[in-house]
């Protein structure tokens, strides 16, 4: 065990058991998986992406490139999780990945021998030919060899949630700067959200042994956190990563509600995706340490110096027994002192600089640590690190160590500042990129802005928090900034030990070496964007947190340009990976989108209806009876019943728009091709409306109930579109028209009653005095009345089926009651409920157009409505419908079809060809839009669009359907297969 005897922010009283690759280990509450593994001396945790090299834990945070593991098992298995941020819980089951058969013996490490072929650009060079090999041979091999973890093989059993919230000031990061910013804004009374990806606030304060106001810094962080938690206007969101900055002060954040628990508590989601709307934001995201590149720098045991310090101080874990520090900067020296203070042997500090502040050197020497200036690490040894070779002041030496703590300096976490396209700027004094142009209303504080000392982080955080609050009208005196000792942050820019031995890795996650960068340089891929794509540097899931700057610094040294001249890539959201589950939220499976139910849904369900989705609606497709085995059998029965006697169907899904005002007639004349201003009160009319480009938008009937009151129906699919169109007409095109409209689709249940017995049934449900006789309610009549003893109703005599038909509208809450009353009233006539399949069959038999014909590509003329269009007025689409291409007589036009051999089935989508013509695009004459089996005629019938169709009645054409192997002869006929004179519906 490598757990230190004392210290750390872990709860030693709470022990947690976990497994890694099937072996059992123990940890404590407050551990991450990484700290617990190190505490158990597990130092080999993964194999690298390309070469399958053994890898250990490198970091202690979100930047981890190596320690990617699978967490949990079964349906909850989650690949590619960074062990350094996975909070330990009792029973955690973790697996290493990308190794076979085991982590210790990985046969694919043979890839290392192939490394000459797998270098930069190998994709483009090695697997070029033969082309057929790519899909069958190369890709499967590459996919198996280079891969990360395995996905779960079953649906995720957990829930994910989405939520929105608002605040005045969003503070991102709860380190010293973030805590001060939140304190300043919170005390001012602003609504503050303080978010941090960690489960503990304090940031680096928990990882270092600093003092604030004479007390341990972690204690100060806990005290400030407690004060913030006590403020009602401050919301603390730990385990929450702000991953993106979007427009107008909108931020995306992921809250890991239950990732630290074996399973989410009842009624709790696993994760919650937040959309945070903030009037101001302070980015206090801190900084990430970067390594120095040298040969053998990927050996398990080589870690970032700040990470070693974190494991020692925060988790009370000794990552090794004998540590050397390889540094370019002062901060790493303080790390070495912390490590030594914890009782771990520090063999040496090797610093690339010739001169280091005397005070640091003295402190190190006082602790008995060797200090080797002007030093380099030139090689490493052991499967797990056992020794390093160094050169210091020109003298080579081998030092036995099991841990090498490396620091190449710190890079501010500028990621979120780039999300609006801002480019980071180079700051030579700290040898790092700092925020350039930042998103509007976002300020950067502390280490994220390049202010690396603790004192400056506290001062800067307080100032930015107060400024954000004050700008929003919450004036407040700056909070007292607590006293801290000033530390030195000197650094020498140093990136790469060029004369070191062994592969020197720049990007550990994608296995990109310094040599790959020189290959890219030699082959001309020198700009940062080319470098990135050619070598895949920085393109792994860690987005190059520990590698980007080093990689481009090495390229800069090769080209001789400076780092700012070489440039940098920018970061895109998300800051860290966001699971698809969280992005989907509740919108999955049946809940992918909202479902609308008709007023008679439960009633239909009780009658055994089979439902089908039509847009957002769930509608009764047909009502099978016991003994019926085939849907067509049920549909044929329903159609025959309607044509022979009477049936009913819920048509509430049609869009219903109420229009009132003196100018309604004028409006309707301008949106329909035909005239409505002259429509008599108490009458309905079928209308067709166009888009301004001259193509048909929608159709439906509109009735006039009073001089200034019309009711429009639209197709189900276009209800919202037509409503929006009418509002556009009224608000944008013709605001002078005095018309008010309202969507009443949800308010009215509407039931169509059809068949020769329809009137007999209707007469039994209307109240006394409501005359539904032929005289009282003639064809295309509309009236208001009441049914069921006082339920107000609108009665229309309309027909879609071709039979005598009525539509009865009642307030939606009475819909099911009306359906049942009609069933009772029609019992003696054998009334039959029918679904939309039967409705479709009857409209095809009757030759009405529907969605398949209103395809957005057809004109009124194409559909046979040419003569309906008024020539006495303008209407939307009129001018454009007159374009030569839209009045071309060669355009396919609407006609009916029947198979020459009545036993043959028609298929919608079949294309028409002249008999004997080759099946080519040039010979294409149109296509079949709708087909149905007509129980009335006893064979299949179809509707379609055919060149000069109406002139070719009686002619035969080929209906060619290569997709389904159909090729039959059909006869062209008029698009009305039943009662073409319309005697039934006028009866």
Binding footprint of other proteins on the chain (CB under 8 A):
164, 246-250, 275, 277, 420, 440, 670, 692-693, 720, 723-724, 727-728, 731-736, 873-875, 878-880, 882-883
Both structure tokens of 394:
């020109």
> By C-beta, is 275 or 939 nearer to other proteins?
275
Cα angle 299, 300, 304 (rounded to 5 degrees) comes to 90
> By C-beta, is 280 or 532 nearer to other proteins?
280
What is the distance between the alpha carbons of residues 646 and 667, in angstroms, rounded to a whole number?
37
Q: Which residues pair with 253 in a beta bridge?
A: 242, 274
Q: Where are the alpha helices (DSSP H) in 122-213?
A: 122-126, 131-133, 139-145, 176-187
**Residues in contact with 290: Cβ distance below 8 Å, sequence separation at least 6, in sequence order:** 304, 408, 409, 410, 411, 546, 547, 549, 550
> By C-beta, is 71 or 712 nearer to other proteins?
712
> By C-beta, is 140 or 440 nearer to other proteins?
440
CB atoms within 10 A of CB 582: 20
Q: Is residue 4 left, alpha or beta, with left meaning phi > 0 and alpha meaning psi from -120 to 50?
A: beta
> By C-beta, is 61 or 244 nearer to other proteins?
244
- Min CB(724)–other proteins separation in Å: 6
> By C-beta, is 123 or 728 nearer to other proteins?
728
Q: What single string gives the DSSP state of each residue in 780-809? A: TBEEEEEETTTEEEEEE---SSSSSEEEEE
> By C-beta, is 117 or 166 nearer to other proteins?
166
What is the distance between the alpha carbons of residues 980 and 987, in angstroms, rounded to a whole number?
14
- Min CB(882)–other proteins separation in Å: 7
Residue 536 burial (10 A CB sphere; 0-12, 13-18, 19+): buried
- Min CB(727)–other proteins separation in Å: 6
- Min CB(669)–other proteins separation in Å: 8
**Does the N-terminal peptide bond of residue 170 adopt cis geometry, omega within 30 degrees of 0?**
no
What is the edge-to-edge ordering of all strands in the sheet holding 92-96? 23-29, 11-20, 92-96, 68-71, 78-82
Q: Which residues pair with 367 in a beta bridge?
A: none
What is the distance between the alpha carbons of residues 630 and 758, in angstroms, rounded to a whole number?
27
> By C-beta, is 180 or 667 nearer to other proteins?
667
- Min CB(733)–other proteins separation in Å: 4
> By C-beta, is 199 or 734 nearer to other proteins?
734
**Residues in contact with 680: Cβ distance below 8 Å, sequence separation at least 6, in sequence order:** 704
Q: How many whole angstroms from its chain centre is CA 289?
A: 31
Q: How many whole angstroms from its chain centre is CA 552?
A: 32
What are the angstrom distances between the C-alpha of 205 and each of 9, 216, 225, 429?
11, 9, 13, 24
- Min CB(705)–other proteins separation in Å: 22
- Min CB(875)–other proteins separation in Å: 7
- Min CB(84)–other proteins separation in Å: 35
Could you say which DSSP state residue 79 is in?
E
> By C-beta, is 250 or 828 nearer to other proteins?
250
Please state whether beta strands 160-172 and 271-283 pair in parallel, antiparallel, or not at all (unpaired): parallel
What is the distance between the alpha carbons of residues 351 and 332, in angstroms, rounded to a whole number?
9
**Does the N-terminal peptide bond of residue 574 adopt cis geometry, omega within 30 degrees of 0?**
yes
> By C-beta, is 242 or 972 nearer to other proteins?
242
- Min CB(219)–other proteins separation in Å: 41
* Dihedral pair phi/psi, residue 846, rounded to 5°: -85, -15
Please state whether beta strands 647-650 and 832-833 pair in parallel, antiparallel, or not at all (unpaired): parallel
> By C-beta, is 15 or 164 nearer to other proteins?
164
Please state whether beta strands 302-304 and 403-407 pair in parallel, antiparallel, or not at all (unpaired): parallel
Q: How many whole angstroms from its chain centre is CA 567?
A: 31
Q: How far does the chain reach from its first CA to its final CA, in angstroms?
A: 95
- Min CB(283)–other proteins separation in Å: 19
**Residues in contact with 724: Cβ distance below 8 Å, sequence separation at least 6, in sequence order:** none
> By C-beta, is 199 or 246 nearer to other proteins?
246
**Residues in contact with 854: Cβ distance below 8 Å, sequence separation at least 6, in sequence order:** 696, 697, 698, 699, 715, 863
**510: three-class secondary structure by DSSP:** coil
- Min CB(435)–other proteins separation in Å: 17
Nearest in space to 38 (alpha carbons), one of 13, 57, 19: 57
- Min CB(871)–other proteins separation in Å: 11
> By C-beta, is 736 or 981 nearer to other proteins?
736
Q: Which residues pair with 617 in a beta bridge?
A: 596, 614
- Min CB(159)–other proteins separation in Å: 22
- Min CB(809)–other proteins separation in Å: 22
> By C-beta, is 736 or 901 nearer to other proteins?
736
CA atoms within 13 A on the CB side of 698: 21
Contact 40/267 with Cβ under 8 angstroms?
A: no
- Min CB(743)–other proteins separation in Å: 8
- Min CB(473)–other proteins separation in Å: 17
Give me the count of residues in the chain: 987
Contact 88/27 with Cβ under 8 angstroms?
A: yes
> By C-beta, is 141 or 740 nearer to other proteins?
740
- Min CB(695)–other proteins separation in Å: 11
- Min CB(693)–other proteins separation in Å: 5
What is the distance between the alpha carbons of residues 174 and 461, in angstroms, rounded to a whole number?
10
> By C-beta, is 168 or 402 nearer to other proteins?
168
> By C-beta, is 735 or 889 nearer to other proteins?
735
If you search the block for the tokens 């089951």, which residue do you land on? Answer: 93
CB atoms within 10 A of CB 905: 13
């Amino acid at each position: 065990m490598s757990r230190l005897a004392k210290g750390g922010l872990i709860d030693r009283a709470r022990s947690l058991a976990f497994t890694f690759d099937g072996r059992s280990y123990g940890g404590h509450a407050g551990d991450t998986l990484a700290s617990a593994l190190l505490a158990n001396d597990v130092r080999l945790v993964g194999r690298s992406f390309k070469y399958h090299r053994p890898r250990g834990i490198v970091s202690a945070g979100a930047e981890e490139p190596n320690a990617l593991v699978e967490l949990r098992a079964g349906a909850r298995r989650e690949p590619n999780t960074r062990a350094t941020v996975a909070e330990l819980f009792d029973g955690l089951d973790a697996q290493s990945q990308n190794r076979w058969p085991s982590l210790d013996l990985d046969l694919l490490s043979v890839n290392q021998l192939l490394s000459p072929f797998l270098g930069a650009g190998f994709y483009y060079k090695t697997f070029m030919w033969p082309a057929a090999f790519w899909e069958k041979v190369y890709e499967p091999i590459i996919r198996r060899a280079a891969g990360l973890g395995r996905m779960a093989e079953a649906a995720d059993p957990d829930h994910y949630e989405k939520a929105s919230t608002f605040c005045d000031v969003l503070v991102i990061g709860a380190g010293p700067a973030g805590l001060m910013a939140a304190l300043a804004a919170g005390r001012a009374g602003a609504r503050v959200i303080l978010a941090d990806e960690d489960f503990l606030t304090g940031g680096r304060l928990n990882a270092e042994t600093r003092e604030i106001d004479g007390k341990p810094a972690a204690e100060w962080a806990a005290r400030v956190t407690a004060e913030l938690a006590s403020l009602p206007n401050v919301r603390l969101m730990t385990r929450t990563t702000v991953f993106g900055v979007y427009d107008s002060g909108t931020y995306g954040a992921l809250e890991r509600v239950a990732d630290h628990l074996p399973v989410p508590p009842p009624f709790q989601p696993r994760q919650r995706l937040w959309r945070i709307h903030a009037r101001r934001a302070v980015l206090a995201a801190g900084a990430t340490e970067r390594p120095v590149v040298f040969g053998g720098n990927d050996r398990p045991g080589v870690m970032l110096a700040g990470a070693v310090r974190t494991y020692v101080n925060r988790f009370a874990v000794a990552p090794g027994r004998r540590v050397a520090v390889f540094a370019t900067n002062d901060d790493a020296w303080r790390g070495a002192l912390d490590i030594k203070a914890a009782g771990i042997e520090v063999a040496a500090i090797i610093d690339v600089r010739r001169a280091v502040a005397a005070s640091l050197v003295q402190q190190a020497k006082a602790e008995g640590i060797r200090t080797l200036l002007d030093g380099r690490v030139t090689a490493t040894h052991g499967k797990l690190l056992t020794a390093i070779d160094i050169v210091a002041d020109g003298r080579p030496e081998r030092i036995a160590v099991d841990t090498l703590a490396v620091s190449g300096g710190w890079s501010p976490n500028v990621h979120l500042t780039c999300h609006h396209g801002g480019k980071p700027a180079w700051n030579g004094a700290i040898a790092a990129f700092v925020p350039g142009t930042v998103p509007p209303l976002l300020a950067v504080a502390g280490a994220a802005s390049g202010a690396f000392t603790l004192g400056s982080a506290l001062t800067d955080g307080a100032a930015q928090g107060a400024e954000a609050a004050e700008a929003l009208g919450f004036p407040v005196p700056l909070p007292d900034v607590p006293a801290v000792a000033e530390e030195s942050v000197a650094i020498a820019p140093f990136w790469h030990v060029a004369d070191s031995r062994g592969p020197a890795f720049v990007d550990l996650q994608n296995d990109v070496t310094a040599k790959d960068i020189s290959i890219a340089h030699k082959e001309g891929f020198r700009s940062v964007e080319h470098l990135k794509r050619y070598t895949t540097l920085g393109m792994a899931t860690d987005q190059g947190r520990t590698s980007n700057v080093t990689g481009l610094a090495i390229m800069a040294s090769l080209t001789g340009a400076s780092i700012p001249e070489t440039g940098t890539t920018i970061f895109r959201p998300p800051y860290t990976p966001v699971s698809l589950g969280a992005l989907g939220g509740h919108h999955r499976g049946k809940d992918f989108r909202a479902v609308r139910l008709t007023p008679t849904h439960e009633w239909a369900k009780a009658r055994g209806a089979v439902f089908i989705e039509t847009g957002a609606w769930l509608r009764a497709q047909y009502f099978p009876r016991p003994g019926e085995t085939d849907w067509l059998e049920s549909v044929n029965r329903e159609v025959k019943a309607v044509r022979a006697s009477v049936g009913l169907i819920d048509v509430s899904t049609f869009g219903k728009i109420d229009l009132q005002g003196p100018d309604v007639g004028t409006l309707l004349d301008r949106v329909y091709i035909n005239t409505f201003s002259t429509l008599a009160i108490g009458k309905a009319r079928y209308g067709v409306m166009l888009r301004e480009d001259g193509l048909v938008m929608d159709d439906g009937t509109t009735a006039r109930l009073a001089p200034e009151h019309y009711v429009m129906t639209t197709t189900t699919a276009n209800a919202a579109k037509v409503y929006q169109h009418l509002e556009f007409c009224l608000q944008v095109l013709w605001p002078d028209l005095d018309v008010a409209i309202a969507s009443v689709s949800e308010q009215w249940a509407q039931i169509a009653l059809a068949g020769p017995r329809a009137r007999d049934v209707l007469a039994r449900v209307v109240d006394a005095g409501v005359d539904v006789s032929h005289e009282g309610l003639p064809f295309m009549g509309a009236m208001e009345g009441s049914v069921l003893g006082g339920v107000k109703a609108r009665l229309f005599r309309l027909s879609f089926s071709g039979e005598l038909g009525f539509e009865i509208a009642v307030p939606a809450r009475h819909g099911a009651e009306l359906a049942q009353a009609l069933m009772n009233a029609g019992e003696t006539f054998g009334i039959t409920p029918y679904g939309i399949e039967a409705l479709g069959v009857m409209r095809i038999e009757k030759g009405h157009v529907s969605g398949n014909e209103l395809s957005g590509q057809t004109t009124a003329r194409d559909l046979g409505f040419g003569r309906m269009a008024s020539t006495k007025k303008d209407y939307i689409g009129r001018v454009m419908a007159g374009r030569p291409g839209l009045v071309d007589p060669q355009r396919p036009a609407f006609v009916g079809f029947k198979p020459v051999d009545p036993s043959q089935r028609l298929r919608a989508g079949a294309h028409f060809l002249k008999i004997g013509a080759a099946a080519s695009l040039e010979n294409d004459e149109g296509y079949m839009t709708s087909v149905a089996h007509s129980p009335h005629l006893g064979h299949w019938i179809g509707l379609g669009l055919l060149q000069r169709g109406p002139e070719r009645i009686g002619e035969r054409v080929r209906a060619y359907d290569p997709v389904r192997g159909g090729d039959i002869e059909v006869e062209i006929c008029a698009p009305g297969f039943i009662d073409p004179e319309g005697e039934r519906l006028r009866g």
